[in-house]
Amino acid sequence: MFDEDVLALLTREVLRERAAALIAESCAWAVGLSDQPHHLRRGGRVVGTGITIGARAAAGQLLSGEEDGRLELGDARPGSFQDALNTVTADGTLIAERFDREVLEPFVLDTCVQAVTRFRDSRAGAWAELLDELGDDGSDLVEVVRVGEWEAPLRIDAEHLVLAALGHVPLVEVEAEGLPLSLVRAAEAVTRAAAPAPPAADPARDDLAGALYLADAALRASGLPLPVPVERADQLLDVLLAEGVLPEEVPTLLASLPVEPATAAEVRATLAALGPG
């Protein structure tokens, strides 16, 4: 029987190797927090204080209130990154919840996939045992991670790493550290939004305009990361076929959908292997 603790230990090892990248991504994400309106919960209601998070931090006042917040984020220094994470937003949620969703969760998932990939490529026999234990065919590494349930404990480890490195650091310093990477990320987003350029008029492509519209809408509603990475190629194909896109239409549509080139190649190879019908 395969000992799944081996993989759990490997995910922690890969996380430690990527600790610097996690801290950098956290700093980049924090850029702009100081400019957001500050809110507190008073008498069960969320109210604006009339100043920004940065202005309150500069005044040496706690950003987070006493009525809600995470216990593990308590005892924060006023104006620190940890204090900012524990701050309530206008909709009553914590900034920490957005940090979890936008930074920790995707970073941890990617770390787990990297660990599983390393394990698969270095220990073929144990990999086969693991798949048998999980009841998975191993075609989708993200699904292997989900079934193995390595994300939740690793997310806790990742949060501890971030708080140990940045928790007591003033928010303004965290933002300053993250500004260069934040600019890079913003430029990448603009580039992705601008490409690809509209193709020249093509009657065959025009005939697929309706299919492309449905495929693009289904893909953006699927929850898959965009552009779709190669390890999610099988899920991408499932989404398209479930939407009613014909197999022979898929290769043409891929050129206009937000997918990585390697992903498109993988889907085309799968379709070719399946053959007609």
pLDDT tens profile 26-78: 999 999 999 999 999 887 789 999 999 999 999 989 898 776 667 667 678 99
> Is the overall model pTM greater than 0.95, yes or no?
no
User: What integer is the mean pLDDT of 154-161?
Assistant: 95
User: What integer is the mean pLDDT of 229-240?
Assistant: 91
Does position 13 have pLDDT exceeding 80, yes or no? yes
Does position 201 have pLDDT exceeding 50, yes or no? no
Q: What is the mean pLDDT of the chain?
A: 87
| CA distances for 181 relative to 30, 68, 76, 225, angstroms | 11, 32, 26, 20
Measured CA to CA, the distance from residue 211 to residue 208 in angstroms comes to 5
Radius of gyration of the chain (CA): 23
The total number of residues written for the chain in this structure: 277
* Whole-number pLDDT of residue 67: 63
The domain ranges of the chain are 1-195, 203-274
Banded model confidence at residue 204, pLDDT cuts 50, 70, 90? very low
φ, ψ of residue 31 in degrees (nearest 5): -60, 125
Percent of the chain with pLDDT over 70: 90
Cβ count within 10 A of residue 18: 19
* Whole-number pLDDT of residue 215: 86
* Whole-number pLDDT of residue 28: 95
For residue 32, the Cα-to-chain-centroid distance in whole angstroms is: 19
